[in-house]
Chains A and B, each alone.
Chain A
Amino acid sequence: MHGVGDPTGDEVSMTEMTRRERIMTATRKKRADKLPFFSLWRHSQIGWAERECRNRGMGMYWQRPPYIMKMHGVKSTETQVIASGAVVLRRTYSTPVGSIYLDEKREPGVEQWKGLASWRDVSPWQTERLIKGPEDYKVLKYMVENTEYIPYYFPIEQAMDWLGDDGVVVDRLPHSPMQMLMIDWIGSEGGRFFIHHAKYPDLVEDLYRAISKSREPLYEIAAKSPAPITSCGDNIDGVLVNPKLFQKYFMPEYEKQAKVLHEHGKLMQVHMDGRVGVLKDLITKTPIDIVEGLTSPPMGDLLIGEALSLWKDKVVWTGFPGSVLILGPEAVKKHALNLLREVGSGDRLVIELCTETLLSDENLLLLTSILENADLPLTKEKIDRIERSLA
């Protein structure tokens, strides 16, 4: 703990936690001094409002990969083509068993904001996926089986150095095997994944098993990285990932991953910002430590208080709903105060200001005004006081 106005932290009489301590204390299921809140690096603007909010207690959260990957015997080329009347980037992978390609549409500003994002914070979109028909499976399987994962901790160490006590750095892994197929390689446009799964179950399952096997070294690599938490890379929504799929393909992979991570004292996180009500009982049975991005109604379908009651061995990092942010400050204020009122003491909870879009300065400042005063444990009196301070 650092003393207020004492950057060395030597002053023992002061008890204010750093942003990192606050997030990690709650994440390790202990009581922090205040409700931790942070901005996700990918969606955080940079400027006076962001600086002011960080000075007033807002933490930062970075996800970075702890690995690099090499594909052996695979040649990759990129070219610009016109497909369906639009200019797209075509990436072709050539292997000894055949070639496959993907097309990617990029809006203005892609790669000029953060990561691959555009000025509007939108990532490139694949208009053609690697798997188009049954003949493409064998090529992708070859690529998967010839992918080598190599530890590379520089991005993690650099971010940890830069952030220091200002926030938390998390290992970012790719989507888990079935979600790679669902989101990345077959894709869900027009329900393509479901159709492939129904029409070619053997091909889908065979490739799933190959990906799962290829990922085993990656879990060891993540477990040994200096970051305290590993995000397994998934993006769970119960509408796409229904209970049958979750139970059959996702839970076993989480078990496998958690075993390795927990042996090294690391925490496992999964991003679940969709409507996960239909999965709530199954989630209880997973070894996941942190349900990240959980979004309350009206965007999600599970109240955060209910999730905390149900998942007693888990921590919830809740994402503030984008569909409330878009309605402006009055709606944001109302939702934030309601959220505080439904989460009991506020333990095992961390607030992510948004996990999917940029916040306006107005919303950022308002949320900070509410959360900077959310001392734990939360009580009705404290929340009423916060509400009066906003009037």
Chain B
Amino acid sequence: MVRGKYLASLKESIVNLDFNAVVETAKEAMDAGVDPQIAITDGIVLGMTIIGEKYETGEYFLSELVVAGEVMKEGMKVITPYIKGGSAKKLGAVVIATVEGDNHDLGKNIVTTLLRVHGFEVVDLGTDVPTDTIINAVKKRKPDILGLSALLTVTMPKMGEAIESLKMADLREKVKVIVGGSPVTSEFAESIGADHCAANALEGVKKCMEWVTPRETR
């Protein structure tokens, strides 16, 4: 199989949500000496881009987005050990968390997967994360973006608490804050001083890319 066929096959296995095919093709591609970085960017990432397009047009739903992310991870497990000389240049850094009292992680995990696909370095703090832990992570990691998620109305105020704590720690001007979750509205985001409210995972990732991409190169 020539290189182009391996890449096309990797892309197709993502689009078709095929766990077995992605692993087999990734192994074959690596055995055949395909550049692992190219296999990722021109195979797997391209497949995820098509998944995103299908999601946006309503052909695919959240379930396909989630499963595609898992298929991608299986393929990456095979390819990553072949990468030599460190990973590719990162687009930006993100710290992400579901706020304290809230254990929902579906939306946060999809955003995390998509951010990584697009070249972000993501520190995922998990769910039910106390505000202090979030602030400490921002201090330590110095991310470009802080992502906060909530699915419960009762936990939404914790997002405001985190932003206030960023101000107290003199960190607010150093990091963009994006919030998201089913009950979180733009009006609420504005009221707590967030920079953006993600309408959905894809839109949120686009906003993050916009923030870290110099205007002239967009």
Contact = CB atoms under 8 A, between A and B. Distances in A.
Interface of A: 105, 107, 120-122, 125, 127, 188-191, 194-195, 197-199, 237, 239-240, 242-245, 274-275, 278, 298-299, 321-323, 325-327, 331, 356-358
B183 interface: yes
Interface of B: 17, 19, 58, 61-63, 66-67, 69-70, 101, 103-106, 109-110, 128, 152-154, 156-157, 182-188, 191
A333 B8 CA distance: 55
Contacts of B62: 191, 194, 239-240, 242
A341 B204 CA distance: 33
Contacts of A198: 17, 19, 63, 67, 70
Contacts of B191: 327
Q: Indicate the member of A194, A321, A325, A331 with the most B CB atoms within 10 Å.
A: A194
28 contacts: A105-B128, A107-B101, A122-B101, A122-B152, A188-B106, A189-B104, A189-B106, A190-B106, A190-B109, A191-B62, A191-B106, A194-B62, A197-B63, A198-B70, A199-B19, A237-B182, A240-B106, A245-B63, A278-B58, A298-B185, A299-B182, A321-B183, A322-B183, A323-B156, A323-B184, A327-B188, A331-B187, A357-B152
Contacts of A357: 152-154
A379 B20 CA distance: 61
Contacts of A244: 61, 63
A274 B106 contact: no
Contacts of A322: 153, 183
B61 A242 contact: yes
Contact of B70 (A191, A242, A358): A191
Contact of B153 (A105, A107, A356): A356
Q: Indicate the member of A195, A321, A327 with the most B CB atoms within 10 Å.
A: A195
Contacts of B67: 191, 194-195, 198
A244 B110 CA distance: 20
A239 B66 CA distance: 12
A325 B152 CA distance: 13
